[in-house]
Chains A and B, each alone.
Chain A
Amino acid sequence: MYLDDRRPTITPQLARRVAIMGGLAVVVLGIVFFRLWYLQVLSGERYVAEANNNRVREIKVAAPRGEIVDRNGRTLVDNRMGLAVRITPNDLPREQEKKTRLYSRLAELLDMQEREIRSSVREQLRALPFSAATVKQDVGLPLVQYIEENQKAFPGVTTEKVFLRSYPHDEVGAHLFGTVGEVSAEQLRDKRYREVEQGDRIGQSGIESTYDRFLRGVNGATKVQVDATGSLTPRQLPRQEPVPGRQLRLSLDLNVQQAGHKALGARKGAFVVMDVKSGQVHALGSSPSFDPNRYVKRIRDSDYRRLTSKALGEPLLNRAVQGDYPAGSTFKLVSSVAALEGGLIEPGTTVFDPGVISVGGRDWQNARKAANGPVDMRQALEVSSDVYYYRLGQAANATGDGRLLQRWAGRLGIGRASGIDLPAELPGVVPSPEWRDRLFKERKTDRPWSVGDNMNLSVGQGDLSTNPLQMAVAYAAVANGGWVVRPRLGMRVEDGQSRPVQELKPPARRRVNVSAEHRQVILDGLRRAASGPRGTSTDVFKDFPIQIAGKTGTAEKGLARADQAWYIALAPYPDPQYVVAVTLEEGGFGAETAAPAARRILASLFGVVGDERKVVRGSSQTN
């Protein structure tokens, strides 16, 4: 029956159609062949990278941050190891129910409120989306091991070793170092943090921020191989070792710094000790201070409120660079330079000081109306005659554009940022006619500029707003021959064995033209103030083995607030190497409180043994 379909040879039509089928096969295989060529030969590298990306998970190994040491190599800031529990939201279970269960289990484990974890994670993710959020830092090792061993039960929860900063000297120098914290989204865009990756911890303030590029180091990574379910496979992959951060040596002298904190005690105030020639800061502190060890994990809002609370003396405020104080009589150094260089007076010219003068229908008096008789500049500085400087302020206001004092204050660095390597410095204000007239125009004050404002400025009262560091810079300029230095804390970058890697060159100083003769007159006056028979701080320093020159200051702050006490010393006399500036809010007369504090600091600076046992309290009640 099937014989009828037998065909001896193939028809041309069939031959053609077979050829078409063959052609189709060739085309199909050709397409596949060339696609394979494209994928495997031309783009193979890319897919190898993708395949490796699939299987290799990098676990960051944080680089230890460099230590910060003082000029003698004593540790100021170092690291300790902490273990952190983190949540990567993308890896959390998607089902709401499972997620809730995970959170509650985690809360129980970490001894936290579930709500607390959720809100903290939410808060961190808002700040830095798509990253991991730290749930708790500094958890115990057994807990970390438990989570690691039961990784399947905790999807999205990871543990990480972190280096936490540790401050062996607690509140000593707390204002300088600043904090270390996770890099923010905004910072990540900054080219300064090019090499920083999300989740890295960087210096957020203070020295940690200024010298972050040296301190932070380079993170390493351990690589692990995972399969499609994310489970680890036994295969070992090469480890990239972290490069620890550099050690930073500050010019700070821990002994002097500690002496400063001790000298201020619980009082609100600040101190600065600086090399007059190089601008190297040997001590710089503010009181009240705080213990940074308590805030290394995370600064809660409540902590922050406490640290900035007025009632608690705003411990976070670095009064040495952020204070806004009138300088009192310590400003007379600036007035002296201005008057001499501006030709208002000759060094030997005497002014009669009756204790009270009347200008503009108002009485201007020395403290306690002390009548000093005829005084030249040296004597005026010795006894801190206000009348002498009132006259200069009055004259300056009437001379030229009336801005002689202001100009010299600016030249000597008052009312402008000193450029110290601390980020949060405030410039302050030197009142001038323009300044007050503008305020008056804006109805922020009740009257325009008057001669009285300049007289107030000449003795460092009134609207002047400065800080101990600016004053130290001005005093240093007179002591070092006219160089306005840029104060520096960072001295040297070193490796882990304290071998120098890079000296941190002090930035260029600025030169002001003050004649040597005039400088000597002022130094003489300051010397007499600390040693002359009528000197305001003579009784504080009379048995001090180091010769010093120094000026007391007592700034009135009005509104029935206690006066601001100042003392600025140059030592050793006659060739001063250091300037020591101390100020105390509500300190009363400078000689009574600030000068003794300065003596304590000077004793530490010059290694005067046993000086702290001596009770020194000046009796001079001058401005």
Chain B
Amino acid sequence: MQSAVIDSPAREPVDARARLPRLDPLLLLAVIGLVACSIYTIWTATEGDVEGSPYHYVIRQSIYAAVGFALMLAAATFDYSRLRELKMGVYAGMIGSIGLVFLVATATRGSKRWIELPFFRFQPSELGKVLLIVALAGFVVDRSRRLEERDTTSRTMLLALVPAMLVVAQPDLGTGLVYVAIALALLFVAGTRWTHFAALGGLGAVAVALVLVAAPAVGVDVLKPYQVDRLTAFVDRGDDPQGQGYQLEQSVTAIGSGRRTGRGAEGATQTKLDFLPEHHTDFIFSVVGETFGFLGAAFVLGLYALLIWRALHILTIAKNLYGALIAGGVVAMLIFQIFVNVGMTIGIMPITGVTLPLMSFGGSSVIVTFLAIGLLQSIHAQAREIAEVKGRQLIT
């Protein structure tokens, strides 16, 4: 190995850049693009929301993005592999912070998700996603030679289900499901057998049937009635125009009314006149659709496609399985959140309160997504470094 390094003619420049992380430029571009879209969209949507300070949300989102960006760079310079040793602590910290919510959280519209900090409201379940990826990837790597065993699959799922159930109990069904998606992705990337997935699928179906049909029938309500409403509203919309179906209706109307090129910031009446609920958070994609039309929405989707492509690429170049698993977990988290959130705004998914990564207003979500991207950049940087050390050309 040493000899390879010595032989390399590119030794000098490699050394000079060694202190800077080797970031994936396209991934960086996608992230910056999405944050820019987010801030611009939030600006058009919330200009008139807070009396006297049209930049209320823009300023905050910019600060969150700046903090997130810094954290991403910090994470990128750091070798993610060292987190594997900390997996027990990370896991415990995750469970602890999510559990803390039940003790100190402030309830917003019936759900306890946030912990009030001096500057912003911290949402442990958001951070928990990244912590779960980091910790669970470690567990899976430890058992990577015993993947055929059912024990591995069930333990991994159990480790994910504990925090997932805690989050569902907040109640935040959508984020809980993200945890499950992450665990499934880790197993998938690690190479778990298809039969295990089939079994998990069967179990999942039974669980859903129990929760939605059997339990209510015997008088045990696992889900809150409003959660059931939200889940079924997209299937059965006409029921109550003021209820959950209303939000969906307004969102679909907002997006549809954007047509090809959008109604512009001034003409976006669904957003501006508050017909669209939560227009800077959960329904930000509807604002994009209404204000910037099909072009704008497709552009944002394009940025996400770029993001996912780069994440998958990083997965393939990871220097170790741990990196590949982390990348796989991040990809699953992104795809799941994008599909569930955007799907909700266009009326093909239930309302679950899952944020749109990097677009939705909110410190926890933005910063945590940046952290996840930071992990990807770290995997990329490590892979580049190893490759350069080995003198091997990486496919970029």
Partners in one complex: yes
* A46, CB-defined interface residue at 8 Å: yes
List, in ascending order, chain A residues with CB within 8 A of B189's CB: 14, 17-18, 21
Chain A proximity of B50: nearest CB distance (Å): 15
| Chain A: CB-nearest residue to B323 | A5
Establish whether residues A40 and B258, one from each chain, have CB atoms under 8 Å apart when the complex forms: yes
Proximity string of chain A (34-49) to chain B, C-beta cutoff 8 Å, 1 when within and 0 when not: 0111011101111110
Establish whether residues A17 and B316, one from each chain, have CB atoms under 8 Å apart when the complex forms: no
Proximity string of chain A (224-263) to chain B, C-beta cutoff 8 Å, 1 when within and 0 when not: 0111110001000000000000000000000000000000
List, in ascending order, chain B residues with CB within 8 A of A226's CB: 273
| Chain A: CB-nearest residue to B390 | A8
List, in ascending order, chain B residues with CB within 8 A of A228's CB: 273-275
Which of A10, A40, A41, A54 has the most CB atoms of chain B within a 10 A radius of its CB?
A40
| 28 A-B pairs whose Cβ atoms sit less than 8 Å apart in the complex | A5-B144, A14-B189, A15-B316, A17-B188, A21-B189, A21-B331, A25-B309, A25-B312, A28-B338, A32-B301, A32-B342, A35-B348, A36-B255, A36-B297, A39-B252, A39-B256, A39-B289, A39-B346, A40-B260, A44-B257, A47-B254, A51-B257, A51-B270, A54-B270, A54-B275, A55-B275, A227-B274, A233-B273
Establish whether residues A44 and B339, one from each chain, have CB atoms under 8 Å apart when the complex forms: no
Proximity string of chain B (243-285) to chain A, C-beta cutoff 8 Å, 1 when within and 0 when not: 0000000101111111110000000011001110000000000
List, in ascending order, chain B residues with CB within 8 A of A47's CB: 252-257
Once the chains are docked, how many angstroms separate the CA of A41 from the CA of B250? 18
* A6, CB-defined interface residue at 8 Å: yes
Known: A28-B339, A47-B256, A48-B259. Contact between A227 and B294, CB under 8 A?
A: no
* B343, CB-defined interface residue at 8 Å: yes
Known: A28-B335, A36-B298, A51-B253. Contact between A5 and B259, CB under 8 A?
A: no
Establish whether residues A2 and B322, one from each chain, have CB atoms under 8 Å apart when the complex forms: yes
Once the chains are docked, how many angstroms separate the CA of A226 from the CA of B315? 50
Chain A proximity of B44: nearest CB distance (Å): 16
* B165, CB-defined interface residue at 8 Å: no
Once the chains are docked, how many angstroms separate the CA of A44 from the CA of B259? 5
* B191, CB-defined interface residue at 8 Å: yes
Q: Give residues of chain B (180-219) contacting chain A, Cβ–Cβ below 8 Å.
A: 185, 188-189, 191
Chain A proximity of B33: nearest CB distance (Å): 16
Which of A22, A37, A39 has the most CB atoms of chain B within a 10 A radius of its CB?
A39
Would you call the interface of chain B mostly helix, strand, loop, or mixed?
helix
* B308, CB-defined interface residue at 8 Å: yes
Once the chains are docked, how many angstroms separate the CA of A150 from the CA of B142? 69
Once the chains are docked, how many angstroms separate the CA of A70 from the CA of B294? 63
Once the chains are docked, how many angstroms separate the CA of A235 from the CA of B255? 22
Establish whether residues A32 and B275, one from each chain, have CB atoms under 8 Å apart when the complex forms: no
Seed contacts A25-B331, A31-B339; 10 additional CB < 8 Å A-B pairs = A5-B321, A14-B324, A20-B188, A32-B343, A39-B252, A39-B255, A39-B256, A46-B256, A51-B253, A228-B275
Establish whether residues A36 and B331, one from each chain, have CB atoms under 8 Å apart when the complex forms: no
List, in ascending order, chain B residues with CB within 8 A of A15's CB: 316
List, in ascending order, chain A residues with CB within 8 A of B256's CB: 39-40, 43-44, 46-48, 50
* B328, CB-defined interface residue at 8 Å: yes
List, in ascending order, chain B residues with CB within 8 A of A6's CB: 319-320
Establish whether residues B257 and A55, one from each chain, have CB atoms under 8 Å apart when the complex forms: no
List, in ascending order, chain A residues with CB within 8 A of B319's CB: 6
* A13, CB-defined interface residue at 8 Å: yes
Known: A14-B189, A28-B335. Contact between A21 and B297, CB under 8 A?
A: no
* A100, CB-defined interface residue at 8 Å: no
Once the chains are docked, how many angstroms separate the CA of A511 from the CA of B331? 96
Establish whether residues B324 and A25, one from each chain, have CB atoms under 8 Å apart when the complex forms: no
Known: A2-B320, A7-B321, A32-B339. Contact between A51 and B254, CB under 8 A?
A: yes
List, in ascending order, chain B residues with CB within 8 A of A43's CB: 256
Proximity string of chain A (494-515) to chain B, C-beta cutoff 8 Å, 1 when within and 0 when not: 0000000000000000000000
List, in ascending order, chain A residues with CB within 8 A of B61's CB: none
* A153, CB-defined interface residue at 8 Å: no
Once the chains are docked, how many angstroms separate the CA of A1 from the CA of B82? 10
List, in ascending order, chain A residues with CB within 8 A of B270's CB: 51, 54
Known: A44-B260, A46-B256, A47-B253. Contact between A54 and B269, CB under 8 A?
A: yes
Establish whether residues A41 and B259, one from each chain, have CB atoms under 8 Å apart when the complex forms: yes
List, in ascending order, chain A residues with CB within 8 A of B107's CB: none
List, in ascending order, chain A residues with CB within 8 A of B331's CB: 21, 25
Chain B proximity of A234: nearest CB distance (Å): 11
Establish whether residues A40 and B185, one from each chain, have CB atoms under 8 Å apart when the complex forms: no
Once the chains are docked, how many angstroms separate the CA of A31 from the CA of B346? 11
* A33, CB-defined interface residue at 8 Å: yes
* A52, CB-defined interface residue at 8 Å: yes
Establish whether residues B298 and A33, one from each chain, have CB atoms under 8 Å apart when the complex forms: yes
Proximity string of chain B (351-366) to chain A, C-beta cutoff 8 Å, 1 when within and 0 when not: 0000000000000000
Once the chains are docked, how many angstroms separate the CA of A70 from the CA of B273? 53
Once the chains are docked, how many angstroms separate the CA of A234 from the CA of B50? 17
Establish whether residues A52 and B269, one from each chain, have CB atoms under 8 Å apart when the complex forms: yes
* B122, CB-defined interface residue at 8 Å: no
List, in ascending order, chain A residues with CB within 8 A of B321's CB: 5, 7
* A29, CB-defined interface residue at 8 Å: yes
* A24, CB-defined interface residue at 8 Å: yes
Q: Give residues of chain A (41-77) contacting chain B, Cβ–Cβ below 8 Å.
A: 41, 43-48, 50-52, 54-55
Once the chains are docked, how many angstroms separate the CA of A119 from the CA of B2? 98
Known: A44-B258, A52-B269, A54-B253. Contact between A5 and B320, CB under 8 A?
A: yes
* B46, CB-defined interface residue at 8 Å: no
Proximity string of chain A (142-167) to chain B, C-beta cutoff 8 Å, 1 when within and 0 when not: 00000000000000000000000000
* B141, CB-defined interface residue at 8 Å: yes
Once the chains are docked, how many angstroms separate the CA of A55 from the CA of B305? 35
User: Which 4 pairs from chain A and chain B are nearest by CB?
Assistant: A47-B256, A44-B259, A227-B273, A228-B274
Q: Give residues of chain B (301-327) contacting chain A, Cβ–Cβ below 8 Å.
A: 301, 304-305, 308-309, 312, 315-316, 319-322, 324
List, in ascending order, chain A residues with CB within 8 A of B332's CB: 21
Partner of B289, one of A18, A36, A225, A233: A36
Establish whether residues A37 and B191, one from each chain, have CB atoms under 8 Å apart when the complex forms: no
| Chain A: CB-nearest residue to B335 | A25
Once the chains are docked, how many angstroms separate the CA of A10 from the CA of B394? 12
| Chain B: CB-nearest residue to A39 | B256
Which of A29, A31, A32, A33 has the most CB atoms of chain B within a 10 A radius of its CB?
A32
List, in ascending order, chain B residues with CB within 8 A of A24's CB: 335
Which of B189, B269, B348 has the most CB atoms of chain A within a 10 A radius of its CB?
B269
Chain B proximity of A37: nearest CB distance (Å): 7
Chain A proximity of B51: nearest CB distance (Å): 14
List, in ascending order, chain A residues with CB within 8 A of B293's CB: 40
List, in ascending order, chain B residues with CB within 8 A of A20's CB: 188
Known: A2-B322, A32-B346, A40-B297. Contact between A17 and B312, CB under 8 A?
A: no
Partner of A225, one of B141, B273, B301, B324: B273
List, in ascending order, chain B residues with CB within 8 A of A46's CB: 256
